[in-house]
Homo-oligomer: A and B are copies of this chain.
Amino acid sequence: MGSNAKRTRQPVTPFAPATQDQLLAIRVNAGIAELAQSERFAAAEEDMVEAIVEGVGQFAAGEFAPLNRIGDLEGAVLENGVVRLPAGFAEAYASYVEQGWNAIASPMEFGGQGLPFTLACNVLENLGTANMAFNLLPMLSVGAIEALEHHGSAALQAKYLPKLVSGEWSGTMNLTEPQAGSDVGALRATAVPITEGEHAGSYRIAGQKIYITWGEHELAGNIIHLVLARLPDAPEGSAGISLFVVPKYHVKADGSLGPRNDLRCVSLEHKLGINASPTCVMSYGDNGECIGELVGAENRGLMAMFTMMNNARINVGNQGVQIGERALQQAMHYARERVQSARAGSPDRAPVAIIEHPDVRRMLLRMKALTEAARALLYYTAGQVDRGTLGNDTAKRRGDVLVPMVKAWGTDTGIEIAGLGVQIHGGMGFIEETGAAQHYRDARIAPIYEGTNGIQAADLVTRKLGYDGGGIYAALMADIARDCVEEPALVALAQDCTAIAEWMRDTASLDDRLAGSVAFCTMSAVAVAGWQMVLQARAVAAGSAPALAATKPVTTRYFLDHVVPETRGQKAAATGGARLLYALSAEQLAS
């Protein structure tokens, strides 16, 4: 607490992984036992699941969590083209690779463990709760692995996947350019086929990309950039975009590293949060010698990106759970330590820990209920993705419908929880030393990247709602109504959602749908999350998770009795239509 406080390194609040609640969600919401009955996921039996969840939780608490504050204070720094991370990051990443956490859900033929996406979610949840900024490094690598796994040739896979899967190399996604953000189709980076010389068959890449997460660093031996660019004479817009793999260092035929490719990090962004994650402006081909290889077919790059996008969006929704859990633990710790004022109405005038005061307790219970509900929704969705991988197309499509809910509501909820965490700290919440403010800052990126939450909601009402003529969504809400007859508020919410979906499908104009999309997405997410909490509470009551026997009924009750009715209040916004939004011209609105 001094003028030079920014330089001091204070211990962070102790972080304990939420192992029990994670195991409950993996069992009840993802249905891991059912998944393990398949040949493909046979390894995911009970003991293995527990070993992974406990193991990665301990690893994250021991190795990643202690670097969270120093990462925020010192951040990533660019010096002469090299990105430096605070002390400890390189060692922690090496330890992460050595312990094999990067390989959980990757294909076994490339050294992965072939386990369900559900468990990869758990690895990311634990790492990101410990250190959201650091976790973006493995999270982006997973995206590169998936792109090559699904769209790369056998040769590209053999060349890049083993070391990406192990984590020795990391990966990035290069979509955005200054004029091409949400509208990826507006990008201008170019790729020109090379017809002669040692790189014949490859492409010469040129262009500048922004917001490249972990685009440059020295923690991994190589960085495999996946870059969207246009071939000469490619069609305009999103139909003319191709995907290229562009390594930082060329990889020789024997797998060893060759010379450096013609690409560089021009600068780092100065951001509101996630300061330890270098957000790079990347320049490709300054000297006309940046070499890349085509992934998949020409002009099909955006399609390739879309295959990974669902999982990537779930992974960002996961960050809402992460920041929620971390902010919750921090606030809970503070509220039990901080003594202030006597209990209102008590004859005993001795001051008590603030957790005893009703409104502080309300905020803590709300934080806990929201975090658990977002987690339940996350793992339910992950379980649907895994069923899709096993060939259940209905589950796959249900997973697709859930993606915008996980991403948008999960990240909005992360911000709400982080804000409550600050509030519980009182004045200390506004002082950076406590760390509460870091969560509030870090959380703010998640509703923006990987498709803004507005784009998630648009995806729900313009694409996903139409799956099977609306049948996928309708069946989801019908399941809720069927399973929760004894919870009238939740049934009413599911019925509201069903009616709004029908109105959107049959009556509403495109503008009307978009105008109500965010409210509708929130309502849908809360309905599903409430349902999954009900299922958790039942499982606990049935004795399957004794550790949570006391708490789960209470957090579930809070969610059903407070959050669900609140959310029903958004029905007017979901169905109000677009007329009012366009009642004023842009000039009038801005006047």
Are A554 and B78 in contact, with the CB atoms below 8 A?
A: no
Residue from the list B3, B358, B581 in contact with A362, Cβ < 8 A: B581
Whether a CB of chain B sits under 8 angstroms from the CB of A195 is no
| Main SS class of interface, A | helix
Contact partners of A431 in chain B: CB under 8 A = 269-272
Binds B, one of A125-133, A217-225, A309-317, A454-462: A454-462
Cβ-defined partner of A359 (8 Å) among B359, B361, B515, B557: B515
Cβ–Cβ < 8 Å partners of A589 in chain B: 332, 355, 361, 364-365, 368, 551
Indicate if the CB atoms of A554 and B580 lie closer than 8 Å. yes
* Interface 0/1 of A268-311, CB less than 8 Å to B: 11111100000001000000000000000000000000000000
Asked if A155 is at the interface (CB within 8 A of a chain B CB), the reply is no
Once A78-B3, A358-B578 are accepted as A-B contacts, the answer to whether A430 and B448 lie under 8 Å apart by CB is: yes
* Residue contact A437 to B362, C-beta cutoff 8 Å: no
Residue of B with least CB distance to A511: B358
A164 to B429, alpha carbons, bound, how many Å? 31
Task: Return the contact of A572 from the options B356, B562, B571 (Cβ within 8 A).
Answer: B562
Does A476 make an interface contact (CB < 8 A)? no
Chain copies in complex: 2
Q: Digit string of A430-454 for contact with B (CB within 8 Å is 1, else 0)?
A: 1111000100110011011100111
Contact of B341 with A183 in the complex, beta carbons under 8 Å: yes
Any chain B CB within 8 A of the CB of A58?
A: no
Closest CB of chain B to A261's CB: distance in Å? 22
Cβ–Cβ contact B77 & A3, under 8 A: yes
- Distance, CA A517 to CA B363, complexed state (A): 12
Known A-B contacts A269-B1, A368-B589, A569-B568; A440 and B430 likewise in contact (beta carbons under 8 Å)? no
Q: Are A591 and B270 in contact (CB under 8 A)?
A: no
B584 A551 Cβ-Cβ under 8 A: yes
B362 touches A6 (CB 8 A): no
CB neighbours (8 Å) of A56 from chain B are none
Name 30 A/B residue pairs within 8 A (Cβ), A-sorted.
A2-B266, A2-B268, A3-B268, A179-B339, A182-B341, A272-B431, A353-B586, A355-B586, A357-B514, A358-B511, A358-B515, A359-B517, A362-B581, A368-B589, A415-B419, A423-B448, A426-B452, A427-B449, A429-B448, A489-B572, A551-B584, A551-B589, A551-B591, A554-B583, A558-B580, A561-B576, A561-B580, A565-B572, A566-B566, A568-B569
